[in-house]
């Protein structure tokens, strides 16, 4: 091998030399390549590092406090109005972390929180907020931001809490919750968002989401099943929207503990299957939806059985759903922590199950406005924590059970509007914690138990509209904590006013009207320093009014009409600067009416029926001046002048009389020679119907034929011998006022003819019998159709009147009233327009009726309106019914057409809301007008009759739009007609014209416009 090698070396081969050179070259080239690649790699690393450093220098301002400052200043530029100067210190001289509402994260040197709740800010939400990429909390609740939510908010990837509620945002909501991957709570409530919730909204739902609030918006459509993707969702609030369909079963994939879907249009049976799979449910609010109980709305058992699985349930609300069925025994097997059960405004029948006593922590039980009609079980006494018990507007009867004193913590007991009878249990006086006691509108009799005086913490007590008798117990002084009102009106109480009333220093309202109380009003009444209203009317009080009344600085209304009070009217009443209603009518006051204060506002309406009063007011005789002794010469001169003037006037009368006789004789001579006399005015021909015929037609005025009754008489249904159906209105002839009412109604009805006014068939007048014969209206009164099966208070159940029917009825009434005010031969002021005085014929046409207290108006020369002189008729005494009386009548203003307009406005609002103006909720200055007006520019659905709201839910969009327009127009018309100042109210012609256009619009006339004739819109209405 060595030889061979040496041989090869010794003998060179050119090819091998070339190969060797090439190999050496390649070796060197590879070294150079490796070195070059290394240098290139090193260069890349260096350049990358440099670029990263440079890039960091350029990107850092996008994630610094400097750019956060710039974003916030752009946010400020979008604000139009900052009433509280909340953003005043957002300027270059203040460090960004000290800006009002700004909180910084010291570790990351970024803005972490922007909290500007309730700052009064007005403007758009700037998209530059998206540059605050370190933001964790964004709170801008209860401002006036408007417009849409900027899509750039998707840059806030670290946002955990978002609250933009209580603003005016509109349009669709954000596309998806997934744009906030770390969101825990989001609140969009109280805005104007609309449209449907798309499935994408809940797709990829962040696992961190625990609370979502979409309440008080205008969302529609169904809830997507994708909501089940929010597996950690604990609180879901959809309150007061327009969602439809059934709740998705996918909710069972969540951990819902608070579910609030009230005031929507969800349908189907109560969600028993869903509820049974939500064991962590704590708060369940399903009220005011279109759901029904099982088995055709007759069975509540499956739902309450499912609720047994909710072992942490605290609150249950199923209000206003017209749910049918009986309360099952399983209600007593709800969670041990259950504290509140609200089932009012339904159709629940039967009794309260004794098993309910198992709910030892129950605080509130509300079963009012149902059809419960059996006894109250004694087992109910075993609820030691019960604080509020509402059982009003049901059909409970018999004595009030002796169980309520067993509730040591009971603060409110409402048994009103039932059929309880017998005496008030004395044991109620053992309820030491009782604040509110409502026993009104029952059939209770006997005396007021003195033991009630031991209820020392009472704030309100209402025993009105019963048959209580005897005296007011002196122990009433024990109710020294009464702060709101004491109402014993409309009973049969007698005896003197108890002096102990003066010890109720904090009471605000005292109503003892319509009883048989006697004696005088004691001076110590001035000790009730907080009282705002005193009503002692329609009793038998006598004596004089004490001067100490002037010391009641908070007195706003004082009514002692219909008593036997006498003496001078105390001038001290003019000291009260806020006294706005004073009624002293129909007493025996004497002397001159004082001046100043309230006396400068009232008219003779407030003092009528006091024949010995005098003054310069219309209808009163002037007060005699103090007479001085005259010298005999002056007396003789005056006497001579009187004799001379009398003789002169006698001569003139004789001359005029003789001249008149000559004219009559001449006229008769002309007729004798063939000249035709002037034709007499036509007289309407009314048929003659005897008392016997009326008695036969009504089966001897049988109570079975009774269709209505009032203060002046009773109305019977009758059928004449020819088959004509009639209504016979029989007046109480024992009452002088009823006789005057009969005469008044005859005067009006014989002068008017209109399709929307009741017509008279005939009248029957005997010394001991007076009746009006009218056409029988098969559909009854508007009141009976609006409040079927209801008592004098809140109407229960629901009305079957559709929106179009209500508009047509309002239009009919307006047409009839416009005729009375502007077109009838003699102008008429109705004075008592209300639903019970509106009748509905076979085709639901409305006819205004009951003209017993109407006023006739004559137009004097020059066009000035002059009221006929009617003396002491009922028209002078009354100005309407409580709740419908125009406010100016309280100041003594004379009746006018604008008073009728006010009553019509109340009626229109009542048609929309199905709330009587005398509803129990209207207390403390709240009225039907103010309640509706406060929601007019917000969520009108809160005040609209729930049956109308339900009827609109499933309609086509164009039909729903017409519904919204019609409701809005009716509300606006009602608000305009019930304005405080008469001069700002429209006329009935204006109202009739507006309603006519609304009728045409609802029938498809798209050219119809509204409110133009009224000359004012709700936006110009001042606050009351």
Report the CATH number that the domain containing residue 918 is assigned in CATH. 1.10.510.10
How would you classify the pairing of strands 397-398 and 144-147?
unpaired
Annotated binding site: 729
With contact defined as beta carbons under 8 Å apart, do 194 and 188 qualify?
no
Cα distance between the two ends of the chain: 127
Q: How many other CB atoms are there within 10 angstroms of residue 15's CB atom?
A: 7
3-state secondary structure of 214: coil
**Average pLDDT value for residue range 493-499:** 92
Would you say residue 141 lies in a domain?
A: no
What tens digit of pLDDT does each residue of 88-99 get? 999 989 999 999
- Choose the weakest-confidence range: 123-137, 161-175, 453-467, 878-892: 878-892
**Average pLDDT value for residue range 623-629:** 57
Give the residue among 356, 428, 365, 425 at the shortest CA–CA distance from 391: 365
Annotated binding site for ATP: 729
Which domain covers residue 731, as residue numbers? 696-1020
Query: What pLDDT, on the 0 to 100 scale, is given for residue 866?
Result: 35
With contact defined as beta carbons under 8 Å apart, do 363 and 387 qualify?
yes
User: Which pair of structure tokens corresponds to residue 540?
Assistant: 């038998």
Would you say residue 864 lies in a domain?
A: yes
Cα separation, 801 vs 796, whole angstroms? 14
- Choose the weakest-confidence range: 131-145, 389-403, 720-734: 720-734
Would you say residue 798 lies in a domain?
A: yes
**Average pLDDT value for residue range 235-263:** 95
- Residue 603 pLDDT greater than 80, yes or no: no
- Choose the weakest-confidence range: 202-211, 740-749, 792-801: 792-801
What percent of the chain has a predicted confidence (pLDDT) above 70?
81
Residue of 832, 919, 990, 993 marked active site: 832
> Torsion over CA of 984, 989, 991 and 993, rounded to 10 degrees?
-130
Confidence of residue 148 (pLDDT cuts 50, 70, 90): very high
Would you say residue 826 lies in a domain?
A: yes
Q: Angle at which helices 946-953 and 957-977 pack, to 10 degrees?
A: 160
What tens digit of pLDDT does each residue of 427-483 get? 998 888 888 999 999 999 999 999 988 887 888 899 999 999 999 998 887 776 677
Q: What is the mean pLDDT of the chain?
A: 82
Query: What pLDDT, on the 0 to 100 scale, is given for residue 808?
Result: 94
Confidence of residue 165 (pLDDT cuts 50, 70, 90): very high
Number of domain units in the chain: 1
Whole-structure pTM value: 0.61
Cα separation, 380 vs 677, whole angstroms? 86
DSSP collapsed to 3 states, 812-864? HHHHHHHHHHHHCCCEEECCCCCHHHEEECCCCCEEECCCCCCEEEEECHHHC
DSSP 8-state code for residue 687: P
Query: What pLDDT, on the 0 to 100 scale, is given for residue 1009?
Result: 59
Cβ neighbours for 21, distance < 8 A, ≥ 6 positions apart: none
- Residue 301 pLDDT greater than 50, yes or no: yes
- Choose the weakest-confidence range: 662-676, 760-774, 969-983: 662-676
With contact defined as beta carbons under 8 Å apart, do 353 and 329 qualify?
yes
User: Which pair of structure tokens corresponds to residue 78?
Assistant: 């979008």
Query: What pLDDT, on the 0 to 100 scale, is given for residue 472?
Result: 92
Would you say residue 312 lies in a domain?
A: no
Confidence of residue 505 (pLDDT cuts 50, 70, 90): confident
Cα separation, 589 vs 566, whole angstroms? 4
- Residue 183 pLDDT greater than 90, yes or no: yes
- 445 or 1000, greater pLDDT: 445
What tens digit of pLDDT does each residue of 310-323 get? 999 999 999 999 99
With contact defined as beta carbons under 8 Å apart, do 247 and 271 qualify?
yes
What tens digit of pLDDT does each residue of 48-94 get? 443 443 343 333 445 688 899 999 999 999 999 998 899 999 998 99
Would you say residue 267 lies in a domain?
A: no
Cβ neighbours for 762, distance < 8 A, ≥ 6 positions apart: 686, 687, 688, 689, 773
With contact defined as beta carbons under 8 Å apart, do 682 and 671 qualify?
no
Would you say residue 854 lies in a domain?
A: yes
- Choose the weakest-confidence range: 258-267, 583-592, 802-811, 1002-1011: 1002-1011
DSSP collapsed to 3 states, 279-313? CCCCEEECCCCCCECHHHHCECHHHHHHHCCCCCC
Give the residue among 191, 292, 310 at the shortest CA–CA distance from 239: 191
Query: What pLDDT, on the 0 to 100 scale, is given for residue 655?
Result: 62
Torsions phi, psi for 445 (to 5 deg): -135, -175
Upper half-sphere CA count for residue 73 (Cβ side, 13 Å):
12
- Is 832 an active-site residue? yes
Cα separation, 706 vs 759, whole angstroms? 20
Q: How far is CA 381 from CA 4, 291, 419, 708, in A?
A: 126, 32, 21, 40
Would you say residue 152 lies in a domain?
A: no
- Residue 793 pLDDT greater than 50, yes or no: no
Cβ neighbours for 769, distance < 8 A, ≥ 6 positions apart: 691, 730, 733
């Amino acid at each position: 091998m060595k030889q061979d090698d040496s041989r090869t070396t010794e003998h060179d081969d050119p090819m091998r030399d070339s190969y060797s050179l090439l190999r050496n070259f390649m070796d060197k080239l590879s070294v150079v390549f490796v070195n070059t690649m290394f240098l290139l790699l090193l260069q890349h690393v260096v350049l990358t590092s440099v670029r990263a450093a440079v890039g960091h220098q350029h990107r850092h301002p996008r994630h610094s406090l400097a750019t956060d400052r710039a974003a916030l200043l752009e946010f400020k530029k979008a604000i139009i109005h900052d009433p509280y100067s909340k953003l005043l210190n957002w300027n270059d001289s203040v460090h960004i972390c000290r800006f009002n509402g700004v909180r910084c994260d010291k570790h990351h040197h970024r803005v972490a929180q922007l909290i500007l709740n309730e700052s009064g800010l007005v403007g758009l939400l700037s998209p530059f907020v998206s540059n605050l990429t370190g933001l964790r909390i964004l709170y801008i609740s209860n401002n006036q931001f408007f417009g849409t939510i900027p899509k750039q908010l998707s840059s806030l990837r670290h946002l955990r809490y978002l609250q933009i509620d209580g603003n005016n945002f509109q349009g669709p909501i954000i596309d998806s919750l997934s744009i906030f991957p770390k969101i825990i709570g989001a609140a969009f409530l109280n805005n104007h968002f609309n449209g449907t919730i798309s499935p994408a909204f809940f797709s990829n739902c962040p696992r961190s989401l625990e609370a979502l609030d979409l309440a008080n918006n205008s969302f529609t459509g169904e809830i997507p099943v994708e909501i089940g993707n929010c597996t950690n969702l604990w609180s879901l609030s959809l309150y007061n929207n327009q969602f439809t369909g059934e709740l998705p079963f996918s909710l069972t994939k969540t951990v819902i503990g608070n579910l609030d879907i009230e005031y929507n249009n969800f349908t189907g049976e109560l969600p028993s299957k869903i509820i049974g799979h939500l064991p962590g449910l704590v708060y369940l609010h399903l009220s005011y939806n279109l759901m029904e109980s099982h088995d055709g709305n007759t069975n509540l058992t499956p739902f309450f059985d499912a609720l047994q699985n909710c072992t942490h349930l605290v609150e249950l609300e199923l209000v206003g759903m017209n749910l049918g069925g009986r309360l099952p025994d399983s209600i007593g097997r709800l969670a041990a922590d259950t504290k509140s059960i609200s089932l009012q405004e339904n159709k629940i029948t039967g009794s309260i199950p004794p098993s309910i006593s198992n709910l030892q922590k129950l605080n509130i039980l509300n079963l009012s406005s149902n059809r419960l009609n059996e006894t109250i079980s004694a087992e109910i006494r075993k609820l030691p924590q019960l604080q509020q018990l509402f059982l009003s507007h049901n059909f409970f009867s018999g004595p009030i059970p002796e169980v309520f004193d067993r509730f040591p913590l009971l603060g409110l007991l409402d048994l009103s509007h039932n059929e309880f009878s017998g005496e008030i249990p004395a044991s109620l006086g053992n309820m030491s914690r009782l604040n509110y006691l409502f026993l009104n509108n029952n059939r209770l009799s006997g005396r007021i138990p003195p033991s009630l005086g031991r209820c020392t913490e009472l704030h309100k007590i209402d025993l009105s509209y019963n048959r209580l008798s005897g005296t007011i117990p002196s122990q009433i002084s024990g109710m020294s904590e009464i702060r709101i009102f004491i109402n014993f009106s409309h009973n049969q109480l007698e005896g003197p006013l108890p002096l102990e009333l003066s010890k109720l220093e904090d009471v605000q309202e005292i109503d003892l009207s319509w009883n048989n109380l006697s004696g005088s009003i004691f001076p110590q009444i001035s000790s009730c320093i907080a009282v705002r209203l005193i009503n002692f009317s329609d009793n038998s009080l006598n004596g004089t009014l004490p001067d100490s009344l002037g010391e009641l600085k908070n007195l706003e209304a004082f009514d002692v009409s219909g008593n036997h009070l006498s003496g001078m009217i105390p001038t001290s009443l003019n000291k009260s600067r806020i006294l706005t209603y004073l009624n002293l009518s129909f007493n025996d006051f004497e002397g001159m009416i004082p001046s100043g204060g309230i006396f400068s506002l009232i008219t003779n309406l407030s003092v009528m029926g006091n024949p010995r009063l005098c003054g310069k007011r219309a209808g009163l005789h002037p007060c005699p001046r103090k007479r001085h002794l005259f010298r005999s010469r002056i007396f003789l001169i005056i006497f001579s002048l009187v004799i001379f003037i009398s003789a002169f006037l006698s001569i003139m009368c004789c001359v005029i009389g003789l001249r008149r006789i000559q004219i009559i004789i001449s006229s008769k001579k002309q007729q004798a020679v063939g000249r035709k006399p002037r034709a007499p005015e036509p007289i309407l021909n009314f048929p003659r119907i005897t008392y016997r015929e009326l008695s036969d037609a009504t089966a001897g005025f049988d109570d079975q034929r009774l269709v209505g009754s009032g203060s002046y008489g009773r109305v019977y249904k009758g059928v004449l011998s020819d088959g004509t159906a009639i209504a016979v209105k029989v007046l109480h002839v024992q009452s002088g006022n009823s006789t005057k009412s009969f005469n008044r109604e005859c005067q009006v009805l014989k002068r008017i003819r209109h399709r929307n006014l009741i017509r008279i068939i005939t009248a029957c007048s005997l010394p001991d019998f007076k009746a009006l014969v009218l056409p029988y209206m098969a559909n009854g009164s508007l009141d009976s159709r609006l409040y079927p099966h209801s008592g004098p208070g809140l109407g229960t159940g629901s009305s079957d009147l559709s929106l179009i029917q209500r508009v047509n009825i309002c239009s009919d009434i307006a047409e009839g009233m416009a005729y009375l005010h502007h077109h009838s031969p003699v102008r008429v002021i109705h004075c008592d327009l209300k639903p019970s005085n509106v009748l509905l014929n076979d085709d639901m046409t409305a006819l205004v009726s009951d003209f017993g207290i109407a006023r006739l108006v004559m137009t004097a020369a020059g066009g000035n309106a002059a009221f006929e002189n009617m003396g002491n008729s009922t028209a002078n005494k009354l100005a309407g019914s409580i709740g419908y009386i125009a406010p100016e009548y309280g100041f003594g203003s004379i009746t006018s057409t604008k008073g009728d307009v006010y009553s019509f406005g109340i009626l229109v609002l009542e048609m929309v809301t199905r709330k009587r103006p005398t509803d129990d909720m209207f207390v403390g200055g709240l009225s039907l007008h103010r309640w509706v007006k406060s929601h007019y520019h917000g969520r009108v659905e809160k005040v609209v009759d729930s049956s109308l709201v339900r009827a609109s839910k499933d309609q086509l969009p164009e039909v729903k739009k017409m519904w919204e327009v019609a409701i809005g127009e009716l509300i606006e018309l009602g608000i305009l007609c019930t304005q405080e100042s008469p001069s700002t109210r429209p006329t009935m012609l204006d109202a009739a014209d507006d309603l006519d256009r609304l009728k045409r619009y609802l029938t498809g006339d798209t050219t119809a416009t509204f409110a133009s004739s009224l000359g004012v819109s709700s936006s110009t209405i001042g606050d009351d």
